[in-house]
Amino acid sequence: MRTLAHPDRGELQLDTVLSAFSDPVRRRIVDQLADGPDDQACSAFQLPVSKSTSTHHFRVLREAGVIEQRYSGTSILNTLRAADLEARFPGLLKAVLQAARDETPSPTAERL
């Protein structure tokens, strides 16, 4: 079984996590994972970049510790490491998600 390296919760670096968050393509991935179910395959994300660029962004998120990726058949299932992020950097993920929503309100989230 192929495996993918993930940093432990205690190894998460603020610099790395912040720069992972500071790209629009990656924040789109994070937003979709936060709003939707866990275990979404990479192909479930309609990203405005090529397949190889997508792979790159998923890897950046994984290596920063923002998402967990595990193989399942020909797919990779992606899950937001919300609990680990909250444990290490309390409030950070929530603030970023909230800021992203305020900035580009989704059509299905008028009120709040």
Partner DNA sequence: CCTCTAGTACGACATCTTTCGTACTACTAG
Partner DNA sequence: CTAGTAGTACGAAAGATGTCGTACTAGAGG
Q: Which is nearer to DNA, 58 or 85 (CB)?
A: 58
Q: Which is nearer to a copy of itself, 33 or 64 (CB)?
A: 64
Q: Which long-range contacts (CB under 8 A, 24 or more apart) does 40-45 make?
A: 40/77, 40/78, 40/79, 41/72, 41/75, 41/76, 41/77, 41/78, 42/75, 42/76, 42/78, 43/75
Question: Which member of 28, 32, 34, 42 binds DNA (CB under 7 A)?
Answer: 42
Binding site for DNA (CB under 7 A): 1-2, 19, 22-23, 25, 41-43, 49-60, 69, 71, 73-76
